[in-house]
Amino acid sequence: MKINILTLFPDMFSVFEHSIIGRARNSGILDITTTNIRDFSASKHKKVDDYPYGGGAGMVMSAQPVVECIKAVKQNNSGKVIFLGPRGKTFNQEVAKEISKLDEVIFVCGHYEGIDERAYKYFDLELSLGDFVLTGGEMAAIPIIDSICRLIPGVLSSEESFVEESFYSGLLEHPQYTRPEVFEDESVPSVLLSGHHENIRKWRRKMSLRITKERRPDLFQNVKLTKEDIKLLKEYEKNVD
């Protein structure tokens, strides 16, 4: 996948030079490039913001450098232009899956108190990380891009690495354990030591269902329960009683 990030602060994305994403870039699976919006300012002093018409606190990002930056990047990237802003669709795992299927994509990071409305016609999609305020679009872009990239074939070591993770199946992930077998008098659940793969699978599914129902009922209500799921939940509730 080719990803272009349009930003006023390219250095913030050095995080993608490390770990899993860094390895995927080195192997050629991911092509992540940052472009400084400031380089496209028509202002003598490379100014990219100004006071809002009508008054108000803060500065507004000018349309001119943003639009010119998009036009320049579009010469080598024909993908959708995604703006990170508060009016956008809330990002989730389903959105991540859809974007991960694209070959090319462009992310635009806003900053200051907002962006000139006239730039919006150049955006194909606006995404929000959630109902809270960040200092800039860069802060939202990093987790969104990471979430998308790890779904691309070859980025993780195996498909299983993300298929069983939280949110991928609509459920929170089951508890995980590693050595030692006993830590502070607490033992690893015996089923995980049994070597019985079917029982382990059922236990993990049961735990995912239970944890999601208890901690994220909003997610749980959208899960299509199978006959086995209903049986596993009844087993858990019976043992709790």
Domain range summary for the chain, segments of one domain joined by +: 2-149, 164-240
pLDDT (0 to 100) of residue 2: 98
pLDDT (0 to 100) of residue 241: 54
Any known ligand binding at 185? no
Q: Please name the residues in contact with 53: beta carbons below 8 A apart, sequence gap of 6 or more.
A: none
Any known ligand binding at 129? yes
Tens-digit pLDDT profile for residues 13-27 = 999 999 999 999 999
pLDDT (0 to 100) of residue 24: 96
Any known ligand binding at 162? no
- 2-149: CATH homologous superfamily? SPOUT methyltransferase, trefoil knot domain (3.40.1280.10)
What is the length of the chain? Answer: 241
Residue among 151, 147, 174 nearest 232 (CA):
174
pLDDT (0 to 100) of residue 160: 45
pLDDT (0 to 100) of residue 169: 72
Any known ligand binding at 195? no
Measured at the CA of 239, the angle between CA 234 and CA 241, to 5 degrees, comes to 95
Q: Please name the residues in contact with 99: beta carbons below 8 A apart, sequence gap of 6 or more.
A: 80, 82, 105, 148
pLDDT (0 to 100) of residue 114: 87
User: pTM of the entire structure?
Assistant: 0.84
Listed as ranges, residues in the chain with pLDDT below 70 are 158-168, 241
Any known ligand binding at 30? no
Any known ligand binding at 132? yes
Backbone angles phi, psi at 143, to 5 degrees: -65, -35
The CATH number for 164-240, chosen from 3.40.50.620, 1.20.1250.20, 1.10.490.10, 1.10.1270.20, is 1.10.1270.20
Any known ligand binding at 67? no
* Distance in angstroms (rounded) separating the CA atoms of residues 144 and 198: 34
